[in-house]
Structure 1
Amino acid sequence: MNNSATTIQDPGVAVPGATLRPYLKRKKSSLGETKVAVVGAGGVGKSALSVRFLTRRFIGEYDQSSDTKYKHTAIVDGESVGFELLDTRSVNEDNGARDEVIRWGDGFMLVYSVTSRTSFDTLLDIRRKIEDVKKVGHVPVIVVGNKADMAHVRQVTQDQGRLLAIDFGCPFMEVSASEDVNKVLESFHVLCREILDYKRRSRTFLDRVFGLKKS
C-alpha cells in the first residue's frame, strides 16, 4: 500500500455562498478521522469517483500503478469531518480488497459498473472477505453503481443493485462520476454517516459495558 498522503483542501462548495473561514471554525468530529476505502473490480471508476469527491473534477483516464491515499476535510450534516481516503488498485483480481486494506478501513465503498455484470457479481465476494477479515457482523459499507449515464450498454438494473444492498443491509446509490458531481459527493457523505453512526454505537456499547466516562 502506498503510505504517502496527498492533502487536498476542501474547496468549500458544499454550502452555497460559504467561505473557507466559517469551515475553519467548525467543531471537528469527536470520533476521529474517518478512513474510507474504495474497492471494486478494475475499470469500474474507483479513481474517477475518488477524484470527483476530492476536487469536484472528472478524469476520464487514470493510470494507477498503486493504491493512493488522500487526506480531505468535508462538511457532513454541519460537522467538519476529516477523511482518509484510499483509492485502491485491483491487483491479480483482488478487487482492491486486500487484507491490509480491510484492516485499515473504517468503512468501504463497494463500486461496480452498471455496464459490467461481472463487476457487480464480485461484490458478494468482496463483502464476504470484509466480514471475514474484520470478524464482526456489521461493517459500514455502501453499494455504488457507477456509469449510470451509460444506460444504452447497461447490464445491471437499478433494482438489482438495490436488492443487493438490501441483502447487505446497507445504503445504495447509482451515480455517474462523469456527469453528476452532487450524487458522487452524497454517496461519500452517506458512507461517512454510516461510519460515524457505527462509531457512536460502538462507543456507547463500551461505555455501558466498562462504565467509561463519556467525553
Structure 2
Amino acid sequence: MNASAGLSEPAVVSGGSTLKPYLRRKKSSLGETKVAVLGMEGVGKSALSVRFLTKRFIGEYDQSMEAKYKCTTSIDGEFIAFELLDTRSCNYDLGAREDVLRWADGFMLVYSVTSRKSFDILQDIYKKIEEAKKAGHAPLIVVGNKCDLTHVRQITQDEGIKLATSFCCPFLEVSASEDVLKVTEAFHILCKEIIEFKRRSRTFLDRVFGLKKS
C-alpha cells in the first residue's frame, strides 16, 4: 500500500474475536487519539476507515471481524498518533460494547443515507455512549455515508444535521467510494474535537487542583 502525504502506513494491531481482550484503556496524550467507528452493518464503516488510512476504496469486507489500526496523520501541521477501531455490528450491541466505549476517546457514528434503519439506530448507540461516559460529553461526529447514491436516498441532509445538533456534534455527508477528501475531513474533524476536549479537561483539572493547592 502506498502511504499518502502526512499519513504513515497503517498497522493492523489485531482483528476478529481476539480484539476484545486487548482493549485496555490507557490514558492518551494530546498528540494521541483513539477513535471507534460505530454504526449498523452495511453502512460502510470499513470502507470509510480504509479510505482514510490508504486512500483506496474497497467495497466488500468480512462483516464478522473487527480490526484495529495505528497510523500517524498530520493535522494543521501537527503529527497525531491515531488508533482506529473498525467495529463490527453483527451483535445486538452494534459494536458499542462496554470495553469499546471505555477505550475510545471519540466516536464516529455512521449511517447510510440509503437506509432509514441505520439512521434511526444511531439514537441507541448515542445513549450507550452517554451512559458509558458519565463524566462528560464524549467527542463525536455523525457521518452520513453513500451520499453519491441520490436515486435511493432515504435520509435528507437536513435530517442528518438535525440529528447531529441533538447530539451537540459536527456532521458531514460523505461518499467513501467517490470523495477521499471528505472522508479524511470527517476523521480530522473528529480528531480535532478529541484534542480540544482533552485540552478543556486538562484546563479544568488544573484549575481544580490549583485552587486546592492555593
TM-score (normalizing by structure 2)? 0.85
Specify the code of the residue in structure 1 equivalent to 2:99: E
Q: How far off its partner does 1:10 sit?
A: 4.7
**Residue 11 (str. 1) matches residue 4 (str. 2):** yes
Structure 2 residue 169 is matched with structure 1 residue 170: yes
Q: How far, CA to CA, are the matches of 1:121 and 1:30 in structure 2?
A: 34
Q: For residue 96 of structure 1, report the CA deviation from its aligned partner.
A: 1.2
Structure 1 residue ranges without an equivalent (≥5): 1-7, 15-28
Cα-to-partner distance string for 1:156-199 (whole Å, 9 max, x where unaligned): 00000000001110000000000000000000000000000000
Q: Kindly provide the amino acid, as one letter, of the partner of residue 11 in structure 1.
A: S
CA contact (8 A) 1:10 1:73 kept: no
Q: Which residues of 2 match residues 109-124 of structure 1 at below 5 A?
A: 109-124=108-123
2:121 is paired with a residue of what secondary structure? helix
Percent identity among equivalent residues? 70
Contact in 1 for aligned 2:114/2:154 (Cα 8 Å) = yes
Amino acid at match of 1:45: G
One-letter code aligned to 1:33? E
1:75-112 CA-partner distances (Å, limit 9, x unpaired): 01111001000000013232211111101000000000
Partner of 1:192: 191
Unaligned runs of 5+ in 2: 8-27
Per the alignment, in what secondary structure is the counterpart of residue 135 of structure 1?
coil
Matched, 1:91 2:90: yes
Stretch of structure 1 that moved more, 134-143 or 146-155: 134-143
Alpha-carbon distance between aligned partners in 2 of 1:96 and 1:38, rounded to the nearest angstrom: 9
- The residue correspondences of 1:64-83 to structure 2 (distance < 5 A) are 64-83=63-82
Report the CA distance between 1:11 and its aligned residue: 2.2
Matching of residue 180 in structure 1 with residue 173 in structure 2: no
Name the CA distance, whole Å, in 1 between partners of 2:114 and 2:92. 18
* RMSD (Å) for aligned C-alpha atoms: 1.8
Alignment TM-score, normalising by the size of structure 1: 0.85
Shift in alpha-carbon separation, 1:209–1:13, aligned structure 2, 3 A: closer
Alignment of structure 1 residues 7-86 onto 2, 5 Å: 10-12=3-5, 31-86=30-85
Letter in 2 for 1:152: H
- C-alpha distance in 1 between matches for 2:70 and 2:53: 9
- Please tell me whether the aligned partners of residues 47 and 59 of structure 2 are also in contact (alpha carbons under 8 angstroms): yes
Q: Distance in 2 between matches of 1:156 and 1:93?
A: 23
Mark the CA change 1:104 to 1:13 in structure 2 (over 3 Å): closer, same or farther: closer
Residues 9 and 72 in structure 1, CA contact (< 8 A), matched pair in contact too: no
Any idea what SS the aligned residue of 1:169 has?
A: coil
Counterpart-to-counterpart distance in 2, 1:165 and 1:106: 18
